[in-house]
């Protein structure tokens, strides 16, 4: 365990298997615990799909606890979700909030003469096969660490099939998450 907060994530109250908190979201305690650990060890973080900021708040706390180096870029296609996430982030760290379609944004990053690379990319946006395949093709180029796909092992999503066709099998499984490094 990294600290008491890290440990406490494993014991958060749940409803239907996902964390029940003031911030609405769909993370399992074990996933939140893993995400905290990944963010704690990362400097540059890209999150695609923040909704109301449950995952963002956990990564933000990790970054703060780890000494506040680097930044988080968090993105959602809906402005109202970005505004809600901003309200839910209580720690003072460097966060870049982006309202955009994730594929468009990633493609723009790839076209920069000096693209940024990320230690941690957390993906939890559109879960359909076609969309995830196009995203994965474009996003993995920006990684110099871990790519963490939420809902990878959910039967009702196209995430696993799309990602495995591009990157092969994941290195780790944590809850519904598939991890590549
Ligand atoms: C499952 S929610 C994210 C939950 C969040 N990661 C959490 O754990 O609290 C998926 C989010 O992805 C966003 N989304 C859906 N399609 C998207 C797209 N094409 N580009 C960017 N975000 C998208 C939705 O608006 C939604 O807020």
Q: Give the tens place of pLDDT for each residue, 89-128.
A: 999 999 999 999 999 999 999 999 988 899 999 999 999 9
3-class SS of residue 181:
coil
For the segment 131-139, the average pLDDT, to the nearest whole number, is 98
Tell whether the model's pLDDT for residue 167 goes beyond 90.
Answer: yes
**pTM for this model (two decimals):** 0.97
Q: Identify which of 30, 39, 77, 106 to mutate to test ligand 1's pocket (most ligand atoms within 8 A of the CB).
A: 77
CA dihedral 110, 105, 102, 117 (to 10 degrees): 40
Q: How far is the CA of 52 from the centre of ligand 1 (A)?
A: 9
pLDDT at 115: 84
Average pLDDT along the chain: 96
Q: How many domains does the chain have?
A: 1
Tell whether the model's pLDDT for residue 30 goes beyond 90.
Answer: yes
3-class SS of residue 96:
strand
Tell whether the model's pLDDT for residue 133 goes beyond 90.
Answer: yes
Residue nearest to atom 14 of ligand 1 (CA): 125
CATH code of residue 15: 3.40.50.150
Q: How far is the CA of 35 from the centre of ligand 1 (A)?
A: 16
Q: DSSP H helical segments within 11-157, as ranges?
A: 29-40, 54-65, 79-88, 102-111, 129-139
Domain that holds residue 98: 4-180
């Amino acid at each position: 365990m990294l600290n008491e907060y890290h440990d406490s994530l494993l014991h958060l109250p749940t409803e239907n298997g996902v964390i029940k908190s003031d911030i609405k979201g769909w993370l399992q305690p074990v996933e939140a615990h893993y995400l905290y650990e990944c963010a704690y060890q990362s400097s540059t973080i890209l999150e695609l799909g923040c909704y109301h900021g449950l995952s963002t708040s956990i990564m933000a706390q990790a970054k703060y606890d780890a000494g506040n180096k680097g930044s988080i870029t968090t993105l959602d296609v809906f402005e109202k979700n970005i505004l809600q996430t901003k309200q839910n982030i209580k720690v003072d760290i460097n966060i870049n909030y982006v309202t955009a379609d994730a594929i468009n944004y990633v493609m723009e990053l790839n076209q920069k003469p000096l693209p940024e690379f990320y230690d941690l990319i957390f993906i939890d946006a559109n879960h359909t096969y076609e969309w995830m395949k196009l995203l994965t093709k474009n996003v993995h180029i920006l990684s110099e660490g871990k790519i963490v796909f939420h809902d990878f092992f959910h039967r009702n999503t196209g995430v696993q099939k799309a990602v495995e066709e591009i990157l092969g099998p994941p290195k780790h499984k944590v809850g519904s998450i598939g991890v590549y490094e």
